[in-house]
Structure 1
Amino acid sequence: MDSNALDIGASSSGVKPLSGVIPVPLPVSQTRLWSLDRLKVVLTFLVIAHHAGQAYGSTGGFWFYENAERWLYLRQFFWMNASFFMGLFFFISAVFVPGSYERKGGAAFVKDKAIRFGAPLLIFVLLVNPVLMYLSYINFRGGALPFTAYLTQIYFGMGPKPAGLRGPLWPDINCGHLWFLEHLLVYSILFAVLRFVWRRPMDPKPDRGKAEAPGDLAILGYAVALTLVSLLVRTRYPIDKWMFVLDFIQSEPAHLPQYLSLFILGTVAMRKGWLQTTPRARGLRWLCIGIGAVVAGGLVRFDLIPFPPEAKGIFFVTAECFIATGFTVGLCTLFREFFNNTTPLWQVLGADAYGAYLVHVPIVVALQYAIGNVPAGAVQKFLLVTIAGIPLSYLASHYLRKLPGVARVV
């Protein structure tokens, strides 16, 4: 796998480990931006922590394990994460898409994405998610069917819907957390189709053709436009309302404007050199704006400052869009300025990040079930699952990738 394909499905296996443990700074003109590798790893940590908290916090979504006690303040953690981290993943994933297409050609590009994203999707939908959904069905949804009957009648929905069935959807078949891969696959195919139609060559080198990075006014314009579109979408589709577009694309429309727009901007950012040319002061300024929006959201959520109840919905959508914008610009700049280097450990973590993303949910759920009867509070359980889940997910990814043929996909 090409070493500078920095989508979450990229492998760093083509990079030789460096000797010693001293960080090796690299100029930003180098093909590979280690800052994005590090940012990808940190975001993966955050995703694992987010899912570790799903059983212990106040969330409107579905999860495979339900703890009796809930920690109210995790709600702010969930909201902050959902405001930016998957959008930023889409942005990072799209950064090297144009270069990858130009190097491989359309057919090879689509084939590579189909294998890399499609194979894990099929495995999880057909083998992993049925087990996780069945655990939820028998433990928290009042189900009594044996697994084979559940699989045919409820998971795959063969026959009429059983009377009195409780749950987030029917049939139960779903992509789980791999909806992200499904979207990446669809977006990548759409990109390939557009590039096939628009045959003008693109320069895949990130250090050529640099253009001036968007200024504060342009970034503000994006944040405002994203807010307006998101408000319009959420008049019909609130957060945590999931649906299947065209009966197979699992999507949460509330966040779709953010995900799609940041993927598009990611395909532009590297070719234009924005990741290298955004001034430090501008990037850190927008990071502060994002942090300020997080703080403001917490103050309003927990009624620490007076705010009209009828305007809270608009406020939270606006704050969320400014978090997404500020953190995308700010974190890319922060990591470029201060963490654009690598060590053998970071190279390993970068190589294993995609696999850790793939396997972390069954590991987290197993931990949640394992400590279900431990006499501890929701906070302690959340911390325990997070602290154990992150290294276990990376270790599982690391050794899984050593199996024959697996590294081709993971």
Structure 2
Amino acid sequence: MASSGATLIRPAVAAHRDEVRGAGVARPGYNVALGYLRGFLVVLVLAHHSVLAYIDSPPPQATSLLAQPPYWRAFMVVDSHHWVGFSIFTGFNDDFFMSLMFLLSGLFVWSSLQRKGNASFVRDRMRRLGIPFLFAAAIIAPLAYYPSYLLTTGAHTATGYIHDWLSFGDWPTGPAWFIWLLLAFDLAGAALFAVAPNFGEMLGRLASNAREHPVRFFLLLLAASAATFIPMAVIFGTAAWTSIGPFQFQTARLFHYAVYFLAGIGVGAYGIDRGLLAPDGKLARHWGRWTLWMVVAFLLSVVFFLIAISKNSPLSANSANLIGGAFYALACASISFAFLALFVRFATRRRWIYDSLSENEYGMYLIHYAFVSWLQLAILSSSLPAIEKGILVFAGVLLLSWGASAALRSIPGVSRIV
């Protein structure tokens, strides 16, 4: 399973632009900070997947796609060259970036529901999320996982690959898991809007004092995410995935992600420019404190992780999941708030290259996974150090995904969806 698979937030971008382009209701201007933060997170996802082949102490390369556990779904290619720095980098990413993407994706849900109504909102989300999910699941995922099949033992034929694929009992989709789960959250939001038309304002009230008291909102989010994540982590463990057909998700994080999505709805419903994300609010003004706290919280989680996996650890599995769940929730909220503060404070001027990235981020997310595995396979036999391989693959994935997304978006039918 694609660990963090990362990020589909482009529908939130589209919703934001709908606010700018539509008529009949006052629309805010394009929020440069949030647009560039979304692009930054997409780049992190590409980098994350690009270096997974080179982390320290990876699982063994699969000898069969039918072997259990199916580590190849996250580690499509396992290189013999490793670097501990990539382990720290991917661990840092996994602590926060999917959660923050769900929060960003929720920011414009309330305004879209109010302006479009349920029926139009659902149609829009089915088009923007459902069609790309089918494309990623049916085309990109099989292409991306074919290098894993080529590295298994025995003969390799297209027929053999199809036979193995149809024998899984489910349908691996890689990072596209985020797309369908975001669609599910959007549909749940529409259903809630139908029965409780004021639920957005209710969530907005929870964020109403976040402009001048971001710590209070931070603690509220931390408490809610911990309350949903820790019990799931104790019951299911932190590494388990649920897979039903093409629908996959990280089991312990399901409700944790829902909390972040709802937090985004609340912040957006209250007002992006007058609440937590106000350019002159305390979150942005105190970006230095939040950045320092991010480092402290992440280091605390690393120290606990090292203690938990040590041979002489006094912790039982349940105790490790219980305490580790609390550290995960703390690190996740801390890193998310730090990046929100940094981008709201400093991403204030538009640059054409960042605008291009923002325009193409959704397409890059959808197609990058295929480039990752094939580039990792192409340099597998190279004697280059792990750090150079990781940088080389990331550069190739970034450029190829960016260019391919721009080319696809030049097709009128595609540009209306992506």
1:361 equivalent to 2:369? Answer yes
Paired with 2:28 and 2:120, the residues of 1 have a C-alpha distance of 25
1:377 aligned residue: 385
1:296 aligned residue: 300
1:403 aligned residue: 411
- Cα deviation, residue 145, structure 1: 5.8
2:238 aligned residue: 239
Cα gap change, 1:143/1:266 in structure 2, threshold over 3 Å: closer, same or farther? farther
2:174 aligned residue: 176
1:100 equivalent to 2:104? Answer no
1:88 aligned residue: 100
- Cα deviation, residue 293, structure 1: 1.6
Contact 2:107 2:268 in 1 (8 A): yes
What secondary structure sits across from 1:250 in the alignment? strand
- Cα deviation, residue 378, structure 1: 1.8
2:270 aligned residue: 272
Paired with 1:239 and 1:54, the residues of 2 have a C-alpha distance of 18
Match of 1:117 among 126, 129, 143: 129
Contact 2:237 2:321 in 1 (8 A): no
Map 1:1-400; keep pairs closer than 5 Å: 7-9=9-11, 10-11=13-14, 30-57=28-55, 58-59=57-58, 61=71, 62-140=74-152, 142=153, 144=155, 146-151=157-162, 153-157=163-167, 170-171=168-169, 173-200=171-198, 211-213=208-210, 215-244=214-243, 247-273=245-271, 274-277=275-278, 278-279=281-282, 280-281=284-285, 284-301=288-305, 309-310=314-315, 313-400=321-408
Between stretches 218-227 and 31-40, larger displacement belongs to: 218-227
Cα gap change, 1:242/1:50 in structure 2, threshold over 3 Å: closer, same or farther? same
Gaps of 5+ in 1: 1-5, 16-28, 158-169
Count of matched residue pairs = 372
Q: Note the alpha carbon deviations across 1:148-198, whole angstroms, 9 max, x for none.
A: 3432x33233xxxxxxxxxxxx23622211100011111111111111122
Contact 1:275 1:332 in 2 (8 A): no
Contact 1:67 1:372 in 2 (8 A): yes
Q: Note the alpha carbon deviations across 1:288-317, whole angstroms, 9 max, x for none.
A: 3222122233445567xx995526555543
Paired with 2:43 and 2:314, the residues of 1 have a C-alpha distance of 34
- Cα deviation, residue 87, structure 1: 0.5
Contact 2:47 2:394 in 1 (8 A): yes
Cα gap change, 1:259/1:120 in structure 2, threshold over 3 Å: closer, same or farther? same
Ranked by relative contact order (alpha carbons within 8 Å, sequence separation 6 or more), the top structure is 1
- Cα deviation, residue 381, structure 1: 0.7
* TM-score normalized with structure 1 length: 0.81
Paired with 1:346 and 1:73, the residues of 2 have a C-alpha distance of 27
Contact 2:232 2:252 in 1 (8 A): yes
**Larger helix proportion of the pair:** 2
Equivalent position amino acid for 1:363 in 2: F
- Cα deviation, residue 243, structure 1: 1.3
Gaps of 5+ in 2: 1-7, 19-26, 60-70
